[in-house]
Copies of this chain bind each other. A is one copy, B any other.
Amino acid sequence: MNNRSYAILGSGALGAYYGAKLHHAGFDVQFLLHSDYQHVCQNGLKIESKDGDLSIQNPDAQPNTSEMRPVDVVLIGIKSTNNHILADILPPILKTDTTVILMQNGLSEEEKLAPILDSPEQNILGGLAFLCSNKIGPGHIKHLDYGQVRLGHHAPNNQPTGITPAMQAIESDFQKAQIPIELEEDLHLARWKKLIWNVPFNGLSVTLNTTTDQLINFPPTRQLCEDLMDEVLAGAIACGRTIPREFANYMMELTDKMTPYRTSMKIDYDEKRPLEVQSIFTNPVLAAEAAGGTLPLIKSLSAQLQFLDIQNRQHTPA
């Protein structure tokens, strides 16, 4: 058994997949489960990956963190819409030198973690998952494609940290678990780069009830995607990060080559789950505004998504 211990908070499409990879590599991995807890106790975690079966017959699963052992690494795989529970559920599993990895999209959510940690040796890392994985039933995950993690280190005021020992330790573990990983010297920059895709495609797929291919094959909405990408670039610049326009072009080319894709936010919407509007849309607008910039198109999309999110969960399906 490798010696670093892990806790997976949120054992869904993302958390259960990475947790299972670490478990099968010999790490001590505990899984926090909520609605699927009873089902997983009886049936185990079923994880079908394109690379082979990753199921765990008897996972070390718990329904709350007060029944879990403190760990070396916490991997946060819950949706950012539930981040308000972290102040309650994190402390029971923290050691004085625990590393917490926030594996979510969007911006600025690490800042809310800092007050929860009380030891200077505790580290907050941010992870960006390039993963195509779905939960298709209770305790049942289907990994379709990709899986790379890009990992950076959070610092006050989003200062770049370069490569840190905490990052290298995780890199070593993930490599043992055959999880592709790249280290990012500047987490804030990496987060802005991922927003270049998430803002137009997650946002418009919900407001326009559609898939990526439809959005980019209709010239006016393709242009709107480009304009939203330009605003993400402008937001990054306001926050002191320059991303070449070519990177946005490359994201558009990748999307041209993708098969028609229903974004994660669209899936959340269709399933009547809360949308990650705050982390992916509102926080970037606020970050840019705090730096003296404005992102009117993203702010507009944010308002539309907040409205749709509330309406969507007020009404029961017909």
Contact = CB atoms under 8 A, between A and B. Distances in A.
A300 B303 contact: no
Interface stretch (A43-51, A106-114, A124-132, A304-312): A304-312
A250 interface: no
Interface of A: 204, 207-210, 214-215, 218, 220-221, 223-224, 227, 296-297, 299-304, 306-308, 310-311
Contacts of A227: 296, 299-300
Given A214-B311, A296-B296, 5 more contacts: A208-B308, A218-B307, A221-B306, A224-B303, A297-B300
Contacts of A204: 304
A224 B311 contact: no
A221 B304 contact: yes
State how many copies of this chain the complex holds: 2
Lowest 3 CB-CB distances: which A-B pairs, in order?
A220-B303, A224-B303, A221-B307
A303 B210 contact: no
Nearest to A215: B307
Contact of A208 (B215, B218, B299, B307): B307
Contacts of A302: 220
Contacts of A223: 303
26 contacts: A204-B304, A207-B208, A207-B304, A208-B304, A208-B307, A208-B308, A209-B311, A214-B307, A215-B307, A218-B306, A218-B307, A218-B310, A220-B302, A220-B307, A221-B304, A221-B306, A221-B307, A223-B303, A224-B300, A224-B304, A227-B296, A227-B299, A296-B297, A297-B300, A300-B300, A300-B301
